[in-house]
Each structure stands twice: as C-alpha cells, then as structure tokens.
Chains A and B, each alone.
Chain A
Amino acid sequence: MAEPLLTVRNLRVEFPTRKGSLVAVDDISLDIAPGEVLGVVGESGAGKSMTGAAIIGLIEPPGRVASGEILLDGRRIDNLSYDEMRKIRGKEIGAIFQDPLTSLNPLYRVSKQLVETIMTHMDLTERQARARALELLKEVGIPAAEERLDHYPHQFSGGMRQRVVIALALCAEPRLIIADEPTTALDVSIQAQIITLLKRLCSEHQTAIMLVTHDMGVIAETADRVAVMYAGRIAEIGPVQDVIKRARHPYTEGLMGAIPTIGGRDELLTQIDGSMPRLTAIPDGCAFHPRCPKAHFKCHTVRPDLIGNAQHSASCWLMESGAAGGASDTAGSEGGR
C-alpha cells in the first residue's frame, strides 16, 4: 500500500466542563492513502464531525485536541499555529462542512465568495478566477450556472447551497478532502453526479477523501474502506464490502438492519432500541453494552480495543472467540430492491 497521505494516531478530543472533561473523540487512529476514499459512518453524535474538525484544526474552543497526532504527508499538522494551519486549509485540505451556512456568507453573492477563495489560494487574475468559479458551479451541477453565479445564497435551494459549498472546497484542488455529509440534502441524481466528481478527483489527481455520511448506499458506491463510529470510538473498520456484507460488530449489524428498502413495507422500521450514551455517562466496559443483544459478562466491565487483522477489525469481545457477526450475511441479498 502507498504511504498514507493522512495519518491520525490516538486522537482524543475533549470539552472541559465544570464537572470534568467530556470526551467526544476517544483514541481514534486511522489513515488514508492518496487516491483512497475512507467512509465514516456511525450514530449521530458519535464524533464523526469532531474527528474531521480536528484534522482541519477547526475545533471550537473550549473543545481541544487533548492528545494524539495528526500527520499530513508525514508532517505533523496538529501543533501548527493558526496562521500556518490557515495556509494548509483550503490549499492542501479542502473541507465540506455539514452545515452549509458556516461556509457561506449570506450577505455576499456566491460569485464573490468563490472568486475570493480561488484568488487566495491560486495565482489567478480576477477574470480567470471568475471563469474557474463558473466551471466549478457547472461541475457540481447547478443549472444555468452563468445566471446563478451572481445570486445570493438564500436564492438557492437547500441542495444547490450544498453544492456551492462543495465547489468552494474544491476551488484550490486540495490533496485531501474532508467531506462531512456532502450529499445529505441531495437527491439521487445529483448525488450520483457529486460522487462521480469525487471519484474522478481520486483517480485523476490522487486526492484522498474522508467521506462522512450516514448513507450506506453512498458509502457502498464510493468508499474503499469504511470506519463505523460509536460513542467517540471506532467500532469497526475494514474494506467496504466486508463491513457491509459481513459486519462483525453488533452495532454495525444493527445499523445495516435499520436501512429502509423498497420492497418489504413493514409497519415499522427495524430500530436499535435505546440511544447512544451521553458523553457525561459513557458506561464502563463496552460503550454499546446497554443496547447490545449479544452482551455478556465481560462486556460490562472491560472495554474492548480493536481486535482483528490489518484489514478488518472490530472493538468487540466476540472477535476473540470468533463468534462475531460474519457467519450470516448481514446486508444479505434481500438488500436493494
């Protein structure tokens, strides 16, 4: 395998409070090679966005990276000054935020925002930058892009705004893209277009992508590997088809089961009962044990680390005995339509 472009080692993100520290990201390690797409899925609040924010150095105080290392191309970037990091952001690392409004200023025309960003990172005249902005808007599938370029963000539909944010992130041709739910508000056809665009960046420019999404269909189609997060940790990580078809961690199995499909129309969707623990009350042992149908004695007291091989591993005690998932196809052939 090629040298990873991004390496995250034992990352821990904390929020200090009066009653002690909340740990939003707890000992996460992962890497992404050039040209590779790592999908990140998991329960809402599991720490996906926080991991992405740590990589681009944008955790809002009082939150902070408490320990661990982040390396881009072998160079540590987690200890850079604000100004040094700002140069890397946009140029080396492009970020697509979950919240389009943090990236777009409602008071400025979209053209102005794109042109300014392009001119900050690339050596282009205003006229060239405008041409590039237009080209990007077309690439993300905005109809009548020429006319739209000078509109304000509120004049766009939800999905169009999201695509403008994607265009902003791609402006300076970054080597690493952190894409946090880039396609959530998009219908399947635009989704396909954005995915094609991201994949093309990977194969033509060896761009590495961290793709955070809860849409398993998008993951299945785009990602090479996938990390499943639960309560601040990685529950399972492995090649995408392995994880989808032979989930090892009971949480991943539950997640696969909850995906609605067209075909069987039961009165209710399958759900994993209960909810993820709050950061102030992470249980001892395996954080998933209060909801886990397979929990046994050890799970209540001892926390499992990732167990498995370099390709596919899960933090679940069942991995020790070889009893974890896998035996039955989780997604099964009834998936899809």
Chain B
Amino acid sequence: MTDALLKVDNLVRHFDVSPPWLNRVIERKPKSVVKAVDGVAFEIGRGETFSLVGESGCGKSTVARLVVGLYNPTAGTLEFDGMDISSGTARSRNRGAQRRMQMIFQDPYASLNPRWRVIDIVAEPIRFNKLVDGDAAIKARVGELLEQVGLSAADGEKYPHEFSGGQRQRVSIARALAGSPEFLVCDEPTSALDVSVQAQILNLMKKLQRELGLTYLFISHDLAVVYHVSTKVGVMYLGRLVEWGETEVIFNAPRHPYTRMLLDAIPDLEMSGRSRTPVAGEVPSPIDPPSGCAFHPRCPLATDRCKAEAPKPVSVGAAMVACHAVEEDRLPEWHG
C-alpha cells in the first residue's frame, strides 16, 4: 500500500432516534437507533481521490462528517497522516491535522452565514490559518479564489442571498480552497451546478490535485462524475462498504450485485421514452436492517445463507467485495 493520508478502521456511528421518553412509556414504543455507519474501513493514499457512492440515506454524509470531526464516532478509529483523530480529545491533541482539512457541504445554503459578505466568508479560513497577512493581500487572494470558481472578484461585496443556487455552491468551494487544505472532503460538491460549470470545477479540482498533491474524499450520486474524478471508489449500502477498489475495476468489472444494479440504473441521453433498468426494491430502513447480508431482500442471487450470515469482505483482484455469491463463485458474467 502506498503512503496513506487517511486511515479509517471499523468506523461506526449510531443515532438515537427514539421517541421522547414519555411516549415510550405511555405508548410502549421501543428505543430506536439508526445505524447510519456500521463498520466501515478504507484508506486514502496521498494525492488520491476516494469516492463514496450509494443510495440516499446509506451513510455517505455521515462518514464525511465523522472524518472532519463534526460527529464523534460511536466506535472505530480515524487516523490522519499518522495522527489519531478518532475522538474530540484526540483531535484537540492533534490540532495540526484539523487545519489541514476542509469540507464542502452537500447543502450550500446551510453552510454559508447569511449575515456575512462573501469576502468575509471566503477570507475566514485564510485569517484562521494565518495564510496571508494584511487586508489588501487577503482581499486579493479572495478575488483570485472567486475567479477560479467562475465568479468575479467584485462578487465579494455581495451577501449569499444575492446568488443563485449554483453560485452559492461555488462560494462554498472557494471558501474550502481558501484554507489551502491538503485534504478536502467534498459532499456532492457539484450537484447544484450545471454541467458546464461542473466541468470547470472538476477540472480545477484535478488541476489542484496535480499541482499541489491534494487528496480528496469525494461523494456524489452522479456515477459518471465519480468515474471521471476517482482513483478508487467505495460502494456503500446501509452503513457498510459492500465493494471498493480501483475505479476502472469497479466500473468495468463490478462484482457485488448491488454495484451492478447501480450501474444498470444510470440514465442516458438516448433513453427518452424508454426507461432504464430500474433499481429493484426499496432501500430498507437503517433502523431495522435486514438480517445477514442487508442487501438480500433486493438481491437476485440471495440464498438462505445470505439471509442468515453477513458476508465478510474478501479481496478479489484489485477490489474488496463482501458477498457470498462472489465467495462461492456463483456470480454470473457481467455484461460490461
């Protein structure tokens, strides 16, 4: 393994979503827990892009928030450049690590302070990390960042509400880049952008990666985007990674039945009138996940063993896959 910048091991995060205590007593409702992330392990090499994909609610944003320390893990370890960042106390001991990472949020509206001008929003990480001295120099740097994301330096004078949805997302990208991070967690960074601006942002991210060696944890539901930007891809289902490995392998020789289902559901432009192969079945609830392999109610290859026993990840070629059918060697050919 090359030199890993981020190591995640057995990461778990549960949320207590029980009804209020009184209702529990009166209506005899049980305690309930969302297993948002339930034992995830991966590593991201320096200068690489690792992407997480999977259906809505499978725990991608929760992994992202755990990595940057917005949530504390219920269990498991996180290591950044050799430093332990698994808990609040470990993080405050290793403050250096925190400074070197930034996050772009899924929801640009919630993450921009409406009362601040854009110039101050973008300047905040510059001031915090003391990257540039003097107001004039900070202003110039902010202008440069705004132009990099396709806005203009003059936009710094405006407030967030004066921008369109996609323009606001670009402000949050500029802010994340302002801190000169080495490691950037990007949660759906371009899903609010039209394709031409998206291409500019993704190209910018690649350029920065090449020039400055940035490392990305990238989350997107757009598999074509993921294919373009990633070195490695991890497919999540109900709080767990079911398959992960080199991008080309995941896209061209997917093994896990769920990965195959996702790839088959990609819409394409030729399809007007016809419909794509829909993903069968519904995402089960993470409050009460199915027994054994959580994917079994939707899996065309499920057997009795799948219902009873959770599959362990095994290494196949350049990928890791958690599926009994793979282990038992009864997987049909992929049409490719």
Q: List A residues at the B interface (Cβ < 8 Å).
A: 41-46, 48-50, 60, 98-102, 141, 143-144, 147, 150-151, 155, 157-160, 163, 181, 184-192, 214, 216-218, 220-221, 240-241, 244, 254-255, 258-262, 265, 267-272, 275, 278, 280, 331, 333, 335-337
Contacts of A99 in B (CB 8 A): 109, 165
Is B202 part of the contact surface with A, judged by Cβ < 8 Å?
yes
Over the window 258-286 of chain B, the binary record of Cβ atoms lying under 8 Å from chain A Cβ atoms (1 yes, 0 no) is 00001001111111100110110011111
Q: Are B265 and A189 in contact (CB under 8 A)?
A: yes
Q: How far is the CA of A268 from the CA of B107 in the complex (A)?
A: 26
Interface centre among A43, A50, A98, A260 (most CB of B within 10 A): A260
Q: For this complex, into which size category does the number of interface residues on chain B fall?
A: 35 or more
State the CA gap A42–B282 with chains docked (Å).
32
CB-defined interface of B280-298 with A at 8 Å, one 1/0 digit per residue?
A: 0011111110000000000
Q: Say what secondary structure dominates the interface of chain A.
A: loop
- In the complex with contacts A187-B221, A258-B199, A43-B275 CB distance below 8 A: no
Q: Is B199 in contact with A265, judged by CB distance below 8 angstroms? A: no
Interfacial residues of chain B within 188-211, with CB under 8 A of chain A in the complex: 188, 191-200, 202-203, 206
Q: By the criterion CB–CB under 8 Å, are B57 and A186 in contact?
A: no
Q: Please indicate the chain B residues that have their CB under 8 angstroms from the CB of A41 in the complex.
A: 194
- Bound CA span A101–B166, Å: 16
Q: Which residues of B contact A42 (CB under 8 A)?
A: 194
For the complex of A and B, the 8 pairs showing the least CB-CB separation, nearest first, are A44-B166, A336-B268, A159-B56, A144-B285, A189-B279, A217-B267, A214-B194, A187-B221
State which of B151, B224, B285, B287 has its C-beta within 8 Å of the C-beta of A260: B224
Shortest C-beta distance, A277 to chain B (Å), equals 10
Assess whether B15 is interfacial by the CB under 8 Å rule.
Answer: yes
- Within the complex, which residue of B53, B150, B188 is in contact with A185, where a contact is CB–CB below 8 Å? B188
Whether B265 and A271, one on each chain, are in contact in the complex, defined by CB atoms closer than 8 angstroms, is no
**B110 at the binding interface (Cβ < 8 Å):** yes
- Min Cβ gap B170→A in Å is 8
User: A-facing mask of B149-165, CB < 8 A → 1, else 0?
Assistant: 01110110000010111
Closest residue of chain A to B194 (Cβ to Cβ) is A214
Cα A261 to Cα B267 in complex, Å, equals: 10
Q: Is B41 an interface residue (CB 8 A)?
A: no
- CB distance A260 to B165 under 8 Å? no
- Asked if B42 is an interface residue, CB under 8 A from chain A, the answer is no
> With contacts A155-B15, A269-B203 known, is A44 near B197, CB below 8 A?
yes
B272 touching A221 by the CB < 8 A rule? yes
- Whether B19 sits at the interface, judged by CB under 8 Å, is yes
CB distance from B289 to the nearest CB of A (A): 10
Q: How far is the CB of A123 from chain B (nearest CB, A)?
A: 29
Q: List 12 A-B contacts (CB under 8 A).
A: A48-B164, A143-B285, A144-B285, A147-B32, A158-B56, A158-B188, A185-B221, A189-B265, A258-B198, A260-B224, A275-B150, A333-B270
Q: Which of B57, B203, B262 contacts A159 (CB 8 A)?
A: B57
Closest to A24 in B: B164
B61 touches A157 (CB 8 A): yes
A101 to B168, CA, bound (A): 14
How far does the Cβ of A333 sit from chain B's closest Cβ, in whole Å?
A: 7
Cα separation A214 to B198 with both chains bound (whole Å): 10
Is B125's CB within 8 Å of the partner chain A? no
Q: Is the CB of A147 within 8 A of B287?
A: yes
- B1-25 toward A: CB 8 Å interface, digit per residue (1/0)? 0000000000000010101000000
A99 to B161, CA, bound (A): 11
User: With contacts A44-B167, A335-B270 known, is A262 near B188, CB below 8 A?
Assistant: no
Cβ contacts under 8 Å, B107 to chain A: 100-101, 158
Is there an interface contact between B268 and A335, defined as CB atoms closer than 8 Å?
yes
Closest B residue to A331 by CB, please name it: B269
- CB-CB under 8 A from B227, the residues of chain A are 260, 262, 265
- On whether A217 and B269 interact (CB within 8 A), knowing A147-B32, A187-B54, the answer reads yes
Does the CB pair A150–B19 fall under 8 Å?
Answer: yes
Once the chains are docked, how many angstroms separate the CA of A15 from the CA of B167?
A: 17
Distance of A43 Cα from B196 Cα, bound (Å): 7
In the bound complex, what is the Cα–Cα distance between A43 and B223 (angstroms)?
21
Residue in A190, A240, A265, A278 whose beta carbon sits within 8 Å of that of B228 in the complex? A265
Bitwise interface map of B from 224 to 263 toward A, beta carbon under 8 Å scored 1, else 0 = 1101100000000000000000000001000000000010
Check if A184 sits within 8 Å of B191, measured CB to CB: yes
Whether A271 contacts B284 in the complex (CB less than 8 A), given A157-B57, A185-B56, comes out as: no
Find out whether the CB atom of A269 lies under 8 angstroms from the CB atom of B164: no
Query: For residue A98, which residues in chain B have a CB less than 8 angstroms away from its CB?
Result: 165, 192
Q: Which residues of A contact B265 (CB under 8 A)?
A: 188-189, 192
13 new A-B contacts at CB < 8 Å, known A216-B195, A220-B269, A260-B199: A43-B194, A44-B164, A155-B15, A181-B165, A184-B191, A185-B191, A220-B272, A254-B196, A259-B224, A269-B199, A275-B200, A333-B270, A337-B266
B55 at the interface (CB under 8 A from A): yes
B77, CB-defined interface residue at 8 Å: no
Whether A45 contacts B164 in the complex (CB less than 8 A), given A184-B192, A185-B56, comes out as yes
In the assembled complex, the CB of A257 is this many whole angstroms from the nearest CB of chain B, namely 9
